[in-house]
Structure 1
């Protein structure tokens, strides 16, 4: 039973990508491997087979392993609801909200959950492939650390350190990170991976030789920059988009301060007939056929922000001109007449007027709804699957014309009588081809090109494993995983 950990010199250095790649590479060899992230801070989450909530990156890594997501894969999830506070989710369940200072002390408790999950995974799999968080060299966060070296020291596992050369300063990142670690932590680092390199590797080789000589640690390899690669982001919004034809359907998503599960829009961004525009602070909403209000971790605060930007007026103008409006989860709640947060679950207790486009009210209640669901859209009776992650309970006359009929007998969301406004609690509704195509036709796309989004995701996971085979020292990786090298 062996644990191997990937840590990064910075956020977005490639930790999630490398763990996903290594998981699929090991699965190809018949190794029973499982992903693990002790502590994750992200607003992109997934519902697990055991009815809990984990970071979305670990759900993708589970797919790379051929496993269903489980709460033990990410025992501590932090979902920020302000700049200084977050909801704390332990083993898939929200247990409290606290500010950063209070959580710093709480980490001793959280560590017990982390070690319990790791112990269970280690007992059931040959290899536990661990992803760190941020950087292990954050001096202000070293005390009581559970996300990086604190965990590695507790379970006595080797560490690979990855850095992104595309950011610049890659040798400073690696040497500087190593220098800020304790002696025992430095000894735990067994090698480096350089990520996102483009150019002639021969020009990089003198630097690699210097790095190995300076640190006494091997470079396991250099991964290339993949230009047309897609993997669901852990938290950062992926704004890349290929050139689209002029007649592409124009879809606009306002980027709210606490936008959650924005991976909902990846299938649209990757669709050859959709021009997706993400509108940020201070930007006007461009003309579009469809506006989508996304999920939110702080619905009332994000609704106030939307109004401050004047986007509510842009939405009203969009509807007057016949455009379509879709609200997902928090976005659905904004479409109603009122949002009440009597317990202060997402900020100060209170109430806010909604946009008043659908006749229902929402009350935020302590028990979060977590479900993987299937059903049929009200549009074309198209099959749909997705997942619910919300504290709000909505009630009102508009819900008598639901957006979705679920297989468990429940109705979900609402559609306006004129068919212009649709809202649903379901995340992931664009992933399935039939539901996505029905929604695109509703928005105005006459003939929809077939796109298999799950196949695209699977293709790129396979491509990642190919990069491991081609560019990394696989014999050393196998040894670090406690496996016999293929070449003796």
Structure 2
């Protein structure tokens, strides 16, 4: 099990890299995260919802992502409660106190999923969540030491040196744990390092000495540097699509509206593949105006986010830019916003029973209690508008939404606006490159005739990650910890 001294230390990618290494070495491998909290989710082949982070790890392991790899998913609705998804199906909405009261039942659910993996795979790499040193929550824990104890997993602890204080956080995390949990930790990894590794040696030796003084046998497994691989990060928008800009070249500029309850921003990670595309996330109306494309992304609370866009004057600015010819794209919640009206008679998302959309496209959306989660395969059938030239191209993706819209197609197009319920539509390289070529033509930029598929692009990144880990971590010691 890979645990971290806190959030954003790089656990997800460390797990992904180990999954690729073990799979390369001939083992049948599965990732596992008993409980995850994220608004970025995926729908598996059975129509079950799971976290995007676990999807990355499954792909790295050469496995089809399946919901049993992430049996509990929490999708925050507000600061106080979350939608609880059990084995891929939304079951209820709970506040933290009520959720913790179900910890015994939830542990049984997680253990049952793990047992399936144990019976059907050679190796399971578990990922923890946040920090195991949240000692006020230990009795309820089912994602860190609680899960490690349940399945008797040895633990490797990861610390992020980039944010400072890594040695204190590693030592402090270990020493805050009770004796049994402390002894589960068999190794440590320092992650996200920039610089000369030799400078760390005195501190590493001092940390090793302190652990030995406490009677702990914790192996130092290596220092992971920052890599140049492009693998989506589940929980952070920072540096997501930052690239150097050559002032002598033209670029396609994309602005993605950053809403408060934005979901599935991983839909846009694919743009890292395109050297002539620059993406920025927009929070303020003053940042809009110099882009070729504006994207309204998915949202966990579409109406609330739409009303907030109106308050921030982004709503009116997008209307203005649409009239000037800027291409407007809506995905899932963004699709709902681009229609005429949104109705919420049961007030599932907010205190508004209805609100006006952008009225760019001719449909309405009504929220109900049924949630749609399904993988889809569609053909672009636009008879007019920006996508007309792409008619006949097949796209694959998945839908996750509660609203029902009065549309005849999963992809609606009119003029310089198109909207879709399909998450992952841009992962389809033929479609995306064709769409970008339409913009390239308008800007008198070079046309890109062919590009490798996004799957091929991701495979190269997973292999880069695995190679970097083999170069910088003691994989032989990790195998000994496994045994």
TM-score (norm 1): 0.91
Secondary structure at the aligned position of 1:142 is classed as helix
Q: CA deviation at 1:50?
A: 2.1
Q: CA deviation at 1:142?
A: 2.3
Distance, in Å, in 2 between the alignment partners of 1:220 and 1:335 is: 51
Alignment pair present for 1:373 and 2:390:
no
Output the aligned Cα RMSD. Answer: 1.6
Matches within 5 A, 1:54-203: 54-203=50-199
- 319, 327, 331: which one aligns with 2:322: 319
Matches within 5 A, 1:34-73: 34-73=30-69
Partner residue, 2:215: none
Distance, in Å, in 1 between the alignment partners of 2:259 and 2:108 is: 34
Distance, in Å, in 2 between the alignment partners of 1:374 and 1:238 is: 31
Q: CA deviation at 1:349?
A: 6.4
Kept after mapping to 1: 8 A contact 2:36/2:73: yes
Secondary structure at the aligned position of 1:103 is classed as helix
Kept after mapping to 2: 8 A contact 1:343/1:349: no
Q: What is the total number of aligned residue pairs between the two structures?
A: 462
Distance 1:81 1:445, change over 3 A: farther
Kept after mapping to 2: 8 A contact 1:46/1:55: yes
Distance 1:225 1:123, change over 3 A: same
Matches within 5 A, 1:289-328: 289-328=292-331
Distance, in Å, in 1 between the alignment partners of 2:451 and 2:258 is: 25
Kept after mapping to 1: 8 A contact 2:230/2:272: no
Distance 1:86 1:347, change over 3 A: farther
Secondary structure at the aligned position of 1:162 is classed as strand
Q: CA deviation at 1:348?
A: 4.2
Matches within 5 A, 1:434-449: 434-443=430-439, 445=441, 447-449=446-448
Deviates more, 1:212-221 or 1:235-244: 235-244
Distance, in Å, in 2 between the alignment partners of 1:373 and 1:186 is: 46
Secondary structure at the aligned position of 2:462 is classed as helix
Partner residue, 2:223: 222
Secondary structure at the aligned position of 1:68 is classed as coil
Q: CA deviation at 1:157?
A: 1.1
Kept after mapping to 2: 8 A contact 1:77/1:90: yes
Q: Deviations over 1:121-157 (max 9, x none)?
A: 1111111110000111123332311111111111111
Q: CA deviation at 1:282?
A: 6.6
TM-score (norm 2): 0.92
| Runs of 4+ residues over 6 Å off in structure 1 | none
Distance, in Å, in 2 between the alignment partners of 1:101 and 1:393 is: 32
Q: Deviations over 1:219-242 (max 9, x none)?
A: 11111111x221111121143411
Kept after mapping to 2: 8 A contact 1:212/1:219: yes
Distance 1:481 1:349, change over 3 A: farther
Distance, in Å, in 2 between the alignment partners of 1:145 and 1:394 is: 40
